[in-house]
Chain A
């Protein structure tokens, strides 16, 4: 999959699948908001995030990768880092 995705496109893609797959209102997704609390994630949901990231961005995430992802901004930055280095 593409490894030169623009940052804005990454944010749009992530927000898009969170709204679609996790059925959250677009309005609650704010860069500084806490990802786990906002989406009400449990351990099973992280497994689904791994699947969604793989199918949207083409790379595999491990459970450890999520340790440092607290906010949506952290999530965007993590994906950007993996795709664009």
Chain B
């Protein structure tokens, strides 16, 4: 089986618009969460959100390429451009190889809503123009990026709620491992506009701790009261070791394991068994023991029940080895469909800069989080191997293990 390595990463999030900006935010423990009055006026329980800038691609891409790009596809384009540049995969290389794309995305609400509003107003679907359809479909990212970058390999979107980005990387890992592909652009994207999050807010999942926005997302803290939505996009270029070495590419890490499971129970409540099974599967596949995992980037979104179950699962599996654990969602909020990919990028940034980013806003543990080795202040320490958890509605679980490349 082929070894699978990472040769490029890109990020556009509320922590920054490139790797360097995000590195600085992670190191400083800087939150990207703000209060958005427009959401309050619109009827949201919580007006908290990650603040993500929307790049203007006029002059960067031609008209036809821009027309089909939804908000999240714009984020994915800029993240993927960064990642391809780092991987040194140019147009010539892509033209001669079957480079694929597997990207996580689970909504394009704003584009859908705007098109329906326009039909209601104009009573004529033609007046939507040609871009609407390509912005509105769930596969908006893969559909557009495969066209813009002229990709010739595997090409589809993974929709798995808040585990979408993680599963995209896991599936890419398996496709390269089995020899079906040699290079795949993987990642996750998430629209940040309020139309994407109304129903999520409606079920009471969001923190209403609006007084101090940067303190609202507090994973594992005793007083956490819900998640804060955010988004953007993160790209991870996966490549077979053979291909990477042949090109002389810089290897940022090796994907070692992808554990997945389904809870088979409640649509929104987590369970212990499903998470534990995914963790064990990832470890077994990687051929690693629990003591090999030095850092865990937790899924922990700051909801009372979600963090409780993850703390229980992590304690059950890693209770003896006690790896360092933090949830970068304390700074980013929950990047939903993107989170599984962005948290691989955040963890890789830490691994290459010898620090562990803090789980900010952690003041007091509850009975479950007290058992974990949580990093609550930036820790200047190197590590060689990490695991990243992602869990989604419907009980879909994904755990990825990444290790520093050793020849």
Which residue of chain B has its CB nearest to the CB of A60?
B124
Residue in B126, B127, B130 whose CB lies within 8 Å of A45: B130
Measured CA separation A5–B166 after assembly (Å): 57
Query: A6 an interface residue at 8 Å Cβ cutoff?
Result: no
**Contact call B130/A44, Cβ cutoff below 8 A:** yes
**Contact call B126/A47, Cβ cutoff below 8 A:** yes
**Contact call A47/B63, Cβ cutoff below 8 A:** no
The count of residues in chain B whose C-beta lies closer than 8 Å to any C-beta of chain A is 11
**Contact call B126/A21, Cβ cutoff below 8 A:** no
List CB contacts (< 8 Å) of B197-212 with chain A.
Answer: none
Measured CA separation A60–B125 after assembly (Å): 12
Residue in A23, A50, A60 whose CB lies within 8 Å of B63: A23
**Contact call A50/B67, Cβ cutoff below 8 A:** no
Which residue of chain A has its CB nearest to the CB of B67?
A48
List CB contacts (< 8 Å) of A13-28 with chain B.
Answer: 21-23
CB contact under 8 A between A48 and B130, given known A21-B63, A22-B63: yes
Residue in B62, B64, B124 whose CB lies within 8 Å of A44: B64
**Contact call A50/B64, Cβ cutoff below 8 A:** no
Query: B129 an interface residue at 8 Å Cβ cutoff?
Result: yes
Closest chain-A Cβ to B129's Cβ sits at a distance in Å of 4
Measured CA separation A54–B129 after assembly (Å): 11
Residue in B62, B63, B64, B127 whose CB lies within 8 Å of A51: B127
CB contact under 8 A between A48 and B127, given known A22-B63, A23-B62, A23-B63: no
Measured CA separation A51–B63 after assembly (Å): 15
**Contact call A50/B127, Cβ cutoff below 8 A:** yes
Measured CA separation A47–B127 after assembly (Å): 8
List CB contacts (< 8 Å) of B101-148 with chain A.
Answer: 124, 126-131
CB contact under 8 A between A47 and B129, given known A21-B63, A22-B63: yes
Q: Using an 8 Å CB-CB cutoff, how does the interface string of A33-53 with B read, 1 for contact, 0 for none? A: 000000000101101101100
Which residue of chain B has its CB nearest to the CB of A23?
B63
Closest chain-A Cβ to B50's Cβ sits at a distance in Å of 32
**Contact call A47/B62, Cβ cutoff below 8 A:** no
- Chain B residues within an 8 Å CB radius of A47: 126, 129-130
Which residue of chain B has its CB nearest to the CB of A51?
B129
**Contact call A50/B126, Cβ cutoff below 8 A:** yes
- Chain A residues within an 8 Å CB radius of B67: 48
- Chain B residues within an 8 Å CB radius of A42: 64
Which residue of chain B has its CB nearest to the CB of A44?
B130
- Chain A residues within an 8 Å CB radius of B63: 21-23
Measured CA separation A42–B64 after assembly (Å): 10
Q: Using an 8 Å CB-CB cutoff, how does the interface string of B56-69 with A read, 1 for contact, 0 for none? A: 00000011100100
- Chain A residues within an 8 Å CB radius of B64: 42, 44-45
- Chain A residues within an 8 Å CB radius of B131: 48
- Chain B residues within an 8 Å CB radius of A60: 124, 126-127
Most-contacted residue by chain B among A23, A45, A47, A54 (CB, 10 A): A47
Closest chain-A Cβ to B126's Cβ sits at a distance in Å of 5
Measured CA separation A49–B131 after assembly (Å): 12
Closest chain-A Cβ to B60's Cβ sits at a distance in Å of 12
Measured CA separation A47–B125 after assembly (Å): 10
Measured CA separation A70–B129 after assembly (Å): 21
Report the 3 A-B pairs with minimum CB-CB distance, sorted nearest first: A44-B130, A47-B130, A51-B129
| Additional A-B contacts beyond A42-B64, A48-B129, A51-B129 (20; CB < 8 A) | A21-B63, A22-B63, A23-B62, A23-B63, A44-B64, A45-B130, A47-B126, A47-B129, A47-B130, A48-B67, A48-B130, A48-B131, A50-B126, A50-B127, A51-B126, A51-B127, A54-B127, A60-B124, A60-B126, A60-B127
List, sorted by A's number, 26 A–B pairs whose CB atoms are closer than 8 Å: A21-B63, A22-B63, A23-B62, A23-B63, A42-B64, A44-B64, A44-B130, A45-B64, A45-B130, A47-B126, A47-B129, A47-B130, A48-B67, A48-B129, A48-B130, A48-B131, A50-B126, A50-B127, A51-B126, A51-B127, A51-B128, A51-B129, A54-B127, A60-B124, A60-B126, A60-B127
Which residues of A come within 8 Å of B, CB atoms?
Answer: 21-23, 42, 44-45, 47-48, 50-51, 54, 60
